[in-house]
Amino acid sequence: MKKKILLLPGDGIGPEVMDAGERVLSALMEAFKLEIELVHGKIGGAAYDATGEPLPEETIRLALNSHAVLLGAVGGPAWNGVPFEKRPEEGLLKLRKTLSVYANVRPVRLPTRLSHFSPLRTLTSDIHMLIVRELTGGLYFGEPKGRMVEDGEEKARDTLLYSESEIRRIVELAYKLAEKRSGRLVSVDKANVLATSRLWREVAERVHTAYPHVTLHHMLVDAMAMEMVLHPETIDVVVTENMFGDILSDVGGALVGSLGLLPSASLSDHGLHLYEPVHGSAPTIAGRGIANPIGMILSVAMLFEYTLSLQEIAEALWQGVESTLDDGWITADLESFVEHRSHESSRPYRVIGTKEMTERILEATFRQLKRKGVVA
So which residues are the catalytic ones?
Answer: 140, 190, 222, 246, 250
Residue 206 annotated as lining a ligand binding site: no
250 is in an annotated binding site: yes
Q: Does the annotation place 49 within a ligand binding site? A: no
Taking alpha carbons only, the member of 324, 328, 329, 337 closest to residue 259 is 337
186 labelled binding-site residue? no
Residue 338 region by backbone torsions, left for phi larger than 0, else alpha for psi between -120 and 50, else beta:
alpha
Answer yes or no: is 246 a known binding residue: yes
Residue 89 annotated as binding? yes
Task: Compute the distance between CA of residue 375 and CA of residue 367 in angstroms, rounded to an integer.
Answer: 9
| DSSP annotation string for 64-101 | HTSSEEEEEE---GGGTTS-GGGSHHHHHHHHHHHHT-
Closest by alpha carbon to 59, among 20, 14, 99, 19? 99
Q: Is 212 annotated as a binding residue?
A: no
3-state secondary structure of 6: strand
Q: Which residues contact 32 (CB under 8 A, 6 or more apart)?
A: 310, 313, 375
- Annotated ligand binding at 81? The verdict is yes
- What gap in Å lies between CA 250 and CA 131, rounded to an integer? 10
Is 280 labelled a binding residue?
yes
User: What burial letters (b/e) apply to 188-227, b meaning 16+ CB within 10 Å?
Assistant: bbbbeeeebbebbbebbeebbeebeebebebbbbeebbeb
Residues 6 or more apart in contact with residue 156 via CB below 8 angstroms: 146, 147, 148
Instruction: Report whether 83 belongs to an annotated binding site.
Output: yes
Does the annotation flag 79 for ligand binding? yes
Dihedral sign, Cα of residue 208, residue 188, residue 315, residue 102: positive
Q: Is 289 annotated as a binding residue?
A: yes
User: What is the number of alpha carbons within 13 Å of residue 243 lying toward its C-beta?
Assistant: 16
Q: Is 263 among the annotated ligand-binding positions?
A: no
User: Is 151 labelled as part of a ligand binding site?
Assistant: no
Q: Any known ligand binding at 242?
A: no
Q: Do the annotations mark residue 80 as ligand-binding?
A: yes
User: In this structure, how many other beta carbons lie within 10 angstroms of the beta carbon of residue 65?
Assistant: 11
Binding residues: 76-89, 96, 106, 133, 222, 246, 250, 280-292
Binding residues for Mg(2+): 222, 246, 250
Binding residues for NAD(+): 76-89, 280-292
Binding residues for substrate: 96, 106, 133, 222
